[in-house]
Amino acid sequence: MYSFRRPARPLRGRFVTAFAVLGAVLALTAASTSGAFAAPDPGQGRPEIREGEAYMGVGIRIHRGDRAGEASAGAMSQTDGVQGIDVSHWQGAINWTSVRGAGIQFAWIKATEGTSYKDDRFNSNYTNAYYAGVIRGAYHFARPNISSGAVQANYFASNGGAWSRDNLTLPGVLDIEHNPYGAMCYGLSTTQMRSWINDFHTAYKSRTSRDVVIYTTASWWNTCTGNWTGMYGKSPLWVAHWTTASSPTIPSGFPTWTVWQYTSTGSVSGVSGNVDRNKFNGTRDRLLALANNT
């Protein structure tokens, strides 16, 4: 009798399959060990993000049409002085002890967006930063087109944006920048935008006793508030200007900057991938004064 055997698969096919499987395994391993998610690349259009997933600076990248955030040369241009970072769930798991050991003295952490989104890494980041000795605070990504400033300020204060005089808590931040989901100024007139920001500030101060810090860019503020000077004596300014210059361009209506976000492509031990780097305009004693409202 003859025994019939199944024809052997060609060797080339075997190697192709083996390499495909190996590639998939390596990709999964890298994703599981990095602990961080790659922030969406906005390219020349809108970023591929779902509502609630906005992060500090995403609107700037859209406005600039950047693919890489900005030239990497800017990442190391301002690393003297009192250094900080800002983070959200896009950074994944963070080793805050390593962050503090790398010389980072302060951080702002995304807590909320609009009136229904809470960052799922906020609780762990906020607590772990505290125990690592990082002076930290929370930030709220503004959505002026979906509810009032007062409603969003109260949502923020109730979900991470509160303040306490414990030597390690900074006042909350209103992140108001180019709309990553639609029209640059969220469909509001300059008068309406001024009222929205003022209402947010008033409600936040009523809840926390603190003036909210405003994060923005010169281009957004000047366009969408019409060079408004109404926050001149109220809110510290956190300006975003990704540049290698020795100082940032600040919005009309503010006397100076308190914090400068000088790059979105920084690196810090304890954080996987790129992270925003920031510089405080003063000494550590002045940073503590901001934290403790003294």
Catalytic site positions: 86, 175, 177
Q: Where are the beta strands (DSSP E) in 102-147?
A: 104-113, 117-118, 135-141
Q: Could you tell me where the DSSP H helices lie in 50-189?
A: 58-64, 96-101, 122-131, 149-158
Nearest residue to 158 via CA among 138, 178, 141, 175: 138
Rounded-to-integer distance, Cα 61 and Cα 47, Å: 9
Distance between CA atoms of residues 15 and 31, nearest Å: 24
- H helix or E strand, kind and range, residue 175: strand 173-175
Looking from the CA of 125 toward its CB, the CA atoms found within 13 Å total 29
